[in-house]
Amino acid sequence: MKIREICALAPVIPVLTVSELAHAVPLARALVAGGLRVLEITLRTPVAIDAIAAMRAALPEAIIGAGTLVRPADFAAAERAGAQFGVTPGLTPELAAAARGARFPLLPGVMTPTELIAARAAGFDVLKLFPALQAGGVGMLRALAGPFPEARFCPTGGVTRATAVDYLALPNVLCVGGSWLAPSGMLAAGDWAGIEALARDAAGLRRG
């Protein structure tokens, strides 16, 4: 699937930091049961790669991606784990080259118009605005719509359940990335029913 098609599957992509491998599959099952099939697992913990592999094996109906790809080697590791898409916080020539050699599509991060121009030159027109809140949020996305009418975004970073609605109302936003779907307290307690309820609520958000 192309990254635009992946971003169109649900209004929210859960951005997940899995610290305990035992949480990976029940967490994914809860989110998918709630209606969110696309999951981003950030490569911020020692078990992240194994978590991606476990989720892929247990939930073939889900679309599992690897986030926080910051080195070319991260692409290879994510590919070995079976990641179906990748996400970067920014974009360098080295990361763009790694993306061209990867078997999965990339959602590259940008924060400024200059970075957006560079990403477009590298062939990307679906981008992650990151960190969205610090980059100017809804106002920034409205401003970018004029000079970059073809660009579409998945704003991530500081997006909450309350502000997701404002982002999703914008015509240049395909979806948002959110970490509120897996609160640390619910993870620690194994409250999969509570996480499923959060996912169901997020899956019902309307896009403009």
Domain residues for the domain of 58 are 3-203
- Give CA separation, 92 vs 42, 83, 95, in Å: 19, 21, 5
Is residue 40, in this structure, part of any structural domain at all?
Answer: yes
Token pair recorded at residue 148 = 């970059």
Is residue 208, in this structure, part of any structural domain at all?
Answer: no
Whether the predicted pLDDT of 208 surpasses 90: no
Q: Is 128 a catalytic residue?
A: yes
Is residue 155, in this structure, part of any structural domain at all?
Answer: yes
Is residue 57, in this structure, part of any structural domain at all?
Answer: yes
> Which of these is catalytic: 2, 5, 20, 128?
128
pLDDT attached to residue 146: 97
Q: Are residues 46 and 77 in contact, defined by beta-carbon separation less than 8 angstroms?
A: no
Counting the structural domains of the chain, the total is: 1
d(CA 162, CA 32): 21
State pLDDT tens for residues 120-170: 999 999 999 999 999 999 999 999 999 999 999 999 999 999 999 999 999
Q: pTM for the complete prediction?
A: 0.97
Q: What is the DSSP string of 144-160?
A: HHTT-TT-EE--BSS--
Closest CA to 167 of 6, 42, 7: 7
Is residue 117, in this structure, part of any structural domain at all?
Answer: yes
Token pair recorded at residue 167 = 């982002």
Task: Please report, for the domain that includes residue 9, its CATH number.
Answer: 3.20.20.70
* Residue at token pair 């910051």: 70
45 CB-near residues (< 8 Å, 6+ apart): 17, 18, 19, 51
d(CA 107, CA 3): 7
65 CB-contact burial (10 Å; exposed 0-12 / middle 13-18 / buried 19+)? buried
Can you tell me the mean pLDDT for 1-20?
Answer: 97
Mean pLDDT score across all residues of the chain: 98
> Which of these is catalytic: 5, 40, 61, 115?
40
pLDDT attached to residue 101: 96
Q: Is 150 a catalytic residue?
A: no
d(CA 122, CA 13): 24
